[in-house]
A and B are shown apart, each in its own frame.
Chain A
Amino acid sequence: MIKDFYDVVVIGAGPAGSVSGRYAASKGASVLILERDREAGIPVRCAEGVSHNGIESFIEIDQKWIASKIDVAWLHAPGGEVATMHNNGTGYVLERRIFDTELCHLAVNAGAELLMKANATGLEFDGKKITGVKYRYQGKDKVVKCSIVIGADGVESRVGRWAGINTALALNDLDTCVQYTVSGYKQDGDACHFYFGKDVAPGGYVWIFPKSKGVANIGIGISGDKAAGKGPKEYLDEFMAREFPDLQVNYIVYGGVPTAWGLKKYIDNNIMLVGDAARQVNPITGGGIVQAMIAARYAGNVAADAVGKSDFSSSFLMRYHKEWYAKLGSAQKTMYAMKEKFMCMDDSRFDKLVNICQNIPEGEFSLKRLFSEAMKGDPKLIADIAKAFVVSKIKLK
């Protein structure tokens, strides 16, 4: 039975929402999570790759949501050269449908309540103060009152906008994506692949994440500002015709990935934003699951502490903003500056980068090593990357 009031209402039951709900509930707050769809994690709009190190502190590793283990990444340069990159630790390709449901179970076990097929439609205000969430449920308009709203409503987030936080993305801060899950994939099951180049995926890349035997996620993201003419599906179909003409597509999904550095503010009075909704996505890789869960743990804990102190002001909730910023938010700015550099690099520069990666021995790959190798081989390239770092440092002040 849904109550009239909860300390915390979370909008969205993806990893950001279920993890924030779990931490808030486990510290004693009453929590309701609203999910628009019939099931968390469905439809899967995700390449499903994560690192073991990234997720292990949030969930006990369970084979039931691991499709495959990844040990190596192949980088394919536009000119055809290939470099292999060994991960620092194992990577997984997830079954998001099962993974997201498991995260929901953890939230519920911690005491959170979950309402499916409940579509948030707006915020309830008393003057300027947020006092609840309006939602549509089984054909009726409903309201649930609360002290804190956590917006975890994904790339299509509107919760921030309702609260006056501008989350609209610039075209160059969004990748427009298509993914095929294919059968008949014959390559190594423990290797993921990334293909770069302006004719392959302008401003983005093509990825391959193998899942079970013969099955793989093959997808593409291209920068939104480069999508006016040819769209991502046309680029992906060209890629498939060239590289894998015999594979059958058994699942097709579209989606968008934020590639911004984040938001100027993640909170305001009575509201917090988390995950894709807060643009907490690695702007170079487009990976967001681990970022979302890290942010969600901070947000959930701070929300529960706010309930304990009955202080829901932005100055109290600011602790979440600061903890996120200290952990990853400032690194995001550096990554963003690098992304901007990559965006204006031509294909020959990508060839050069892959060349440099080829010279790094197995197991010694790190950004630091990449820079030191780049320094030897191509001082101008390292100068470009260094500039990106300097720019990001200046922006930080």
Chain B
Amino acid sequence: MRINTELCDICGTCVSVCPVDAIRVEEFRVWIDAEKCIECGKCEQVCPARAISGGKK
């Protein structure tokens, strides 16, 4: 999964649906841990800023 940091509002909505706790939020940036991520695409679907891409369709 990729986060477009120009679109990301750092709202953390993605974290709430991540089934494997692969996402962490800092004050100015959101990170996805590629090793934990299972590419389920839930974060991409709920991201209100449409900043995430790359999930399995």
Contacts and interface: CB of A to CB of B under 8 A. Distances in A.
- Classify chain A: how many residues form its interface, as a range: 20 to 34
A52 interface: no
B27 A119 contact: yes
Nearest to B9: A254
A228 B27 CA distance: 27
A254 B17 contact: no
A169 B17 contact: yes
A174 interface: yes
Instruction: Give the residue among B15, B21, B48 with the most A Cβ atoms within 10 A.
Output: B48
Contacts of A117: 27
Contact of A255 (B11, B26, B27, B45): B11
A184 to B, nearest CB: 24
Interface string A156-168: 1110010000011
A156 B45 contact: no
B24 interface: yes
Contact of A155 (B9, B13, B27, B42): B13
B2 interface: no
Given A161-B21, A171-B42, A253-B9, A156 B48 contact: no
A227 interface: yes
B46 A256 contact: yes
A38 interface: yes
A173 to B, nearest CB: 9
- Classify chain B: how many residues form its interface, as a range: 20 to 34
Given A155-B16, A156-B16, A258-B16, A171 B48 contact: no
B51 to A, nearest CB: 9
Contacts of A155: 12-13, 15-16
A250 to B, nearest CB: 16
Contacts of B45: 171, 224, 227-228
Contacts of A253: 9, 11
Contacts of A227: 45-46
A171 B11 contact: no
Interface in A143-195: 154-158, 161, 167-171, 174, 176-178
Contact of A174 (B13, B19, B24): B13
B19 A255 contact: no
Interface string B9-48: 1011111111101001111000000000000001001111
A256 B12 contact: yes
A157 B48 contact: no
B48 A169 contact: no
A202 to B, nearest CB: 13
Given A158-B21, A233-B50, A176 B27 contact: no
B19 to A, nearest CB: 5
B47 A176 contact: yes
Nearest to A155: B16
A28 interface: no
Contacts of B18: 168
B11 A254 contact: yes
A232 B17 contact: no
A170 B17 CA distance: 6
A174 B14 CA distance: 10
A231 interface: yes
B9 A174 contact: no
B16 A36 contact: no
B26 to A, nearest CB: 6
Interface in A324-369: none
B17 A171 contact: yes
A105 interface: no
Nearest to B8: A254
Given A227-B46, A228-B45, 14 more contacts: A155-B13, A156-B12, A156-B15, A167-B16, A168-B16, A171-B17, A171-B46, A176-B13, A227-B45, A231-B50, A233-B48, A233-B50, A254-B9, A255-B13
6 contacts: A155-B13, A158-B24, A174-B17, A176-B48, A224-B17, A255-B48
The 4 closest A-B pairs by CB, nearest first: A156-B12, A256-B13, A156-B15, A254-B48
